[in-house]
A and B are shown apart, each in its own frame.
Chain A
Amino acid sequence: MSASDPASRAWPAEGLTRVPYWVYQDEDIYRREQERIYRGATWNFLGLEAELPQPGDFKTTFVGEMPVVVARDENGELRAFENRCAHRGALICIKDRGNAQRFTCVYHNWTYDLKGNLTSVAFRRGIQGKGGMPADAKPESGAPRKLRVATCCGLMFATLSEATPPLEEYLGPEIAARVRRVMKEPVRILGGYSQIFRNNWKLYLDNVKDTYHASLLHAFFATFRLNRLSQKGGVIVGGDGGSHVSFTMMRTDTGSDEYERAGMRSAAGGYRLEAPELLETVDEIGDGISLQILGVFPGFVLQQIMNSLAVRQVLPKGVGETELVWTCFGYASDDETMTERRLKQANLVGPAGYISMEDGAATAFVQRGVRGAAERAAIVEMGGRGVGSDESRVSENSVRGLWQAYRRHMGL
């Protein structure tokens, strides 16, 4: 893309039903997103509290492109601060996770406490009266920025801005209730991995919020005759449009898996699962919802696909690359059978997921497809032109919600 002033970028006159393709490709827009979105009035997902159970536990992650340290301090409070030394800007912490009492920048040994306060400057007074800093130097003036941390049912979020509304308000009450639904009790982390998407971060978020594509792109359920068009569900859009939840109800005749098994085997002439236990599901939350995908602007996804639970953190890695950090979990109360069920159903998700592997490809197809068409725009008119909640998932309401929130943050 040629460098152009983002201010000169005009959103198409049609409004939310159009997404101009420069939004995925323009380096200036990308830089402005870092400032206005990631370092602006948004809550950015950091991970699960269960990753940091003890005082001194820490992890390193990112808010947008900004590296951050997240730590539990001596009093059990969660802290987040920029992973950038006050002195020359080097990373303060160069581990992915661990337990520490303090952090010392390896370059010149400047030291920080678990709250991110600069606590010592090596040789500040020099050696034997020689060298060192002037008496009136203020090394803390360049200290790493501290982020506000908020949690919701064990999910950690951070923001740099004082203007960000309280987390629950930011999510919206209906979305917060759907977070609580899944994060209903203490969790046990089962593991994780990352998936690299060769596309702009917004294409992934858009994909998560796009309920229209699910049964069309992901052919696994249909191929094995598991497609259940009669299933009820819906989409709820919350917050300022940036939060959403989509959900699917199990059949009303749940209670046994016999119907499902019969359904598979009745697929005469089609394909059937030889190991259908993959999909044997327990209605553990007790409300008949078998699938719930919840997305929060700018980079958080909470997933319940049958008994597969996961959080996903969307991290921008340049205008055309995105890292999706997956953490799959169960509940601390799970027995061995339940854990095994979750581990098997993890086959549905991730880079090799039966119903998710295509996402990484499809979003990159857009990135590659629009390369010569920055001034053209995508059409987003399924389900009308609004951003309200919808009983139909043949709808792009939550996609329009994303762009409503995006444009407000960006002033576009």
Chain B
Amino acid sequence: MDVELQLAVENLLSRYAHALDEARLEEWLEFFVETGRYRITTAENFERGLPLSILYADSRAMLRDRVTALRHANIYEAQRYRHTVSSTLVERHGASAVRAVSHFQAVRIMYTGESMLFATGRYLDVIRLDGSGGKPQFEEKVVICDSRRFDTLLAIPL
């Protein structure tokens, strides 16, 4: 195993999770290359070969629109997530990219104090190692939720 590569990927995933959980959504955008693809789907859709997503962007511009909408248009009760990302497997994908598969859990904590296990699943990532500023960035991130059910709404990305 390439320990440095493993650590570089895990570090990216950790910074990604910290940004989301601290509601730094504008910084969260910077984890994607300009043409980065991001989508959230269910294991059921994925396994049946059905292309529908719950949230889908094929550029950082689309992700920025999502963040603008979450900040200024969409209405949802104050909430945050606590992500746990683990079991990351990394394999080389060409000279300057890797594929990574990780497990995640996201607990959602409402302003009322109610906490629930909101989502579990896998991240299927394609990561460019020499992204902006020499740091790794996502070319593609597919979030595959284990369950087809979502409680109330999914505002903050996973």
Contacts and interface: CB of A to CB of B under 8 A. Distances in A.
Contacts of B76: 357-358, 361
A351 interface: yes
A346 B54 CA distance: 7
A352 B69 contact: no
A357 B65 contact: no
A350 interface: yes
B50 A364 contact: no
Interface string A326-356: 0010000000000100011011001110100
B120 interface: no
A60 B45 CA distance: 17
Interface in A165-210: 189-198
A219 B57 CA distance: 20
A358 B73 CA distance: 10
A217 B76 CA distance: 11
Given A224-B73, A358-B75, A364 B152 contact: yes
A194 B153 CA distance: 10
Contact of A192 (B52, B58, B154): B52
Contacts of A346: 52-54, 56
Contacts of B40: 352
B135 to A, nearest CB: 23
B65 A274 contact: yes
Given A220-B73, A223-B73, A351 B53 contact: no
Nearest to A310: B52
Given A193-B54, A217-B75, A358-B75, A278 B62 contact: yes
A189 B52 CA distance: 9
B151 interface: yes
A343 B41 contact: no
A94 interface: no
B152 A361 contact: yes
B149 A275 contact: no
Interface string A311-338: 0000000000001000010000000000
A219 B74 contact: yes
A191 B64 CA distance: 25
B153 A275 contact: no
A339 B56 CA distance: 13
A196 B56 contact: no
B24 interface: no
A275 B65 contact: yes
B77 interface: yes
A364 B112 CA distance: 14
Interface string B70-85: 0011111100000000
B51 interface: yes
B149 A323 contact: yes
Contact of B56 (A323, A347, A357): A347
B151 A196 contact: yes
A361 to B, nearest CB: 6
Contact of A223 (B66, B72, B153): B72
A330 to B, nearest CB: 10
A189 B149 contact: no
11 contacts: A191-B42, A192-B44, A193-B45, A193-B52, A224-B73, A274-B62, A323-B149, A343-B53, A346-B54, A352-B154, A361-B77
Interface of A: 189-198, 217, 219-220, 222-224, 271, 273-275, 278, 323, 328, 339, 343-344, 346-347, 350-352, 354, 357-358, 360-361, 364
Interface of B: 40-42, 44-45, 48, 50-59, 61-62, 64-66, 68-69, 72-77, 148-155
